[in-house]
Amino acid sequence: MGASKTTRVQNMKKYNSIIYIVSLACAGLIFTGCATNQATAPIPANSGHLIVTRVANFGSDLSLVLSIDGKDVGSFTEGRQYSGYLPAGQHVLIARVDPFQAGKHPGRKTITVQAGHTYSYTAAWS
């Protein structure tokens, strides 16, 4: 009877130690996440800021795919937007829907970016 009680006490001590270690690990992860500062990249010289936002009623099962100068820069779902810097000069923006919707053609816009300016567009159905 005494040996059984001793074994139970030892098992409880091991269990409490494991809980303590796991709790410390979780707390460490939480505080690490809070203390992390994401390094922001410096704004490129001679560039303009482009923001393309997806309109709220775009469609929950649809993504906005944005390409700039023939290169896809992202696929954006609900609540997401593109935000990036383009070198000064002329650029072609193409916005299309994924998955493809019959009868809907990609939107195309040519912009001339000036250094230090911000260009903001909202992608919507037309």
Exposure on the CB side of residue 77, measured as CA atoms within 13 A: 2
Whether the pLDDT of residue 96 is over 70: the answer is yes
- In terms of pLDDT, which residue wins out, 116 or 57? 116
CATH, range 47-123: 2.60.40.10
Residue 58: CB atoms within 10 A of its CB come to 19
User: Quick one: pLDDT at residue 36?
Assistant: 44
> Would you say residue 8 has pLDDT above 70?
no
Place of tokens 């074994």: 7
Write the pLDDT tens digit of every residue in 73-88. 988 888 888 999 999 9
Q: Rounded to two decimals, what is the model's pTM? A: 0.63
So where are the chain's domains? 1-39, 47-123
